[in-house]
């Protein structure tokens, strides 16, 4: 199955994406994670992407599309994948449609996570990540056992630079102006479903699983 998860920053895409990809055994393709890895490896693409990421802006379409196209053509995507954080613009959505058409594939389902703005700001300011192993925490709802330390690998957990208040405001504006139009785009294609992301992550996941379950039989 070929899935896409959408929603504002802080809607819980990453958390749901991890649960979905574990349950259905498909690769998790997160454009944000790919960029963070490139930055860590100090590649040319990483250096360019970082200039935009630290300001809360979108990385240019051309670079983003090229990075994701390469990833989607790797063998582990042959039997399906979950896209998380891509596409974020109409131009990227067109590029994705073109790439999938070339490979004779289609998206099966787009899951849109709806979350109130107040909750988004609360979630993002409490979010902490481990840059070493990628684990995520929330100081309000899912704190690490030992303050400031990753349960999984013991490294220090941090507030992402782009989760700082000013940058969050910018990311939310970018979402409203550039990414939200994708809701209509996929709704017109009749593959979009809405899921309530204000619930706790387990209840949200139950909703997600119901929609994915409905795909059975269509394959
Ligand atoms: P995320 O972890 O998905 O919130 O992504 C972190 C940052 O990476 C975003 O704020 C953007 O600056 C950049 N980014 C991730 N995905 C995309 C995309 N599809 N298009 C442009 N920029 C992106």
Q: Whose structure tokens read 């929609």?
A: 211
- Residue 83 Cβ inside 6 Å of ligand 1? The answer reads no
CA angle 112, 116, 117 (to 5 degrees): 115
User: Which whole number is the average pLDDT over 141-160?
Assistant: 95
Confirm whether 88 is a catalytic residue: yes
pLDDT digits (tens, 9 = 90+) for 54-111: 988 999 999 999 999 999 999 999 889 999 999 999 999 999 999 999 999 999 999 9
Nearest alpha-carbon partner for 32 in 22, 24, 40, 23: 40
- CA proximity to 185, closest of 92, 101, 46, 118: 92
- Name the pLDDT band for 24 (thresholds 50, 70, 90): very high
Alpha-carbon span 214 to 113, nearest angstrom? 17
Decide if 146 is catalytic: no
Ligand 1 centre distance from Cα of residue 142 (Å): 23
Give distance in angstroms: CA of 18 to centre of ligand 1: 17
Measured in Å, residue 58 CA sits from the centre of ligand 1 at: 6
Residue 7: half-sphere exposure toward Cβ, Cα within 13 Å: 26
pLDDT digits (tens, 9 = 90+) for 156-209: 999 988 888 888 888 899 999 999 999 999 999 999 999 999 998 999 999 999
pLDDT tops 80 at residue 142: yes
pLDDT of residue 197: 95
Provide the pLDDT for residue 186: 98
36 catalytic residue (yes or no): no
Phi, psi for 84 (deg, rounded to 5):
-135, 115
- Look at residue 218 in the predicted model and tell me its pLDDT: 57
- Residue 2 beta carbon below 6 angstroms from any ligand 1 atom: no
Tell whether ligand 1 has an atom less than 6 A from the beta carbon of residue 71: no
Q: In the prediction, which pLDDT does 219 show?
A: 53
Q: Are 21 and 82 in contact (CB under 8 A)?
A: yes
Distance CA 140, CA 49 (A): 30
């Amino acid at each position: 199955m070929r899935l896409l998860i959408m929603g504002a920053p802080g809607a819980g895409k990453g958390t749901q994406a991890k649960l979905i990809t574990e349950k259905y055994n498909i690769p998790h393709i997160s454009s944000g994670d790919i960029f963070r890895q490139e930055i860590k490896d100090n590649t040319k693409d990483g250096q360019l992407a970082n200039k935009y990421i630290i300001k809360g802006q979108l990385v240019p379409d051309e670079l983003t599309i090229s990075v994701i196209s390469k990833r989607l053509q790797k063998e582990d995507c042959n039997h399906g994948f979950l896209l998380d954080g891509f596409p974020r613009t109409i131009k990227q959505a067109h590029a994705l449609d073109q790439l999938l058409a070339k490979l004779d594939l289609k998206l099966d389902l787009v899951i849109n996570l709806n979350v109130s703005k107040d909750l988004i700001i609360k979630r993002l300011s409490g979010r902490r990540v481990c840059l070493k192993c990628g684990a995520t925490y929330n100081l309000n709802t899912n704190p690490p056992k030992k303050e400031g330390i990753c349960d999984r690998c013991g490294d220090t957990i941090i507030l992402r630079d782009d989760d700082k208040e000013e940058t969050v405001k910018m990311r939310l504006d970018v979402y409203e102006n550039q990414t939200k139009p994708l809701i209509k785009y996929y709704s017109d294609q009749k593959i979009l479903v809405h899921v309530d992301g204000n619930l706790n992550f387990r209840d949200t996941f139950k909703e997600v699983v119901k929609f994915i379950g409905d795909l059975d039989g269509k394959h």
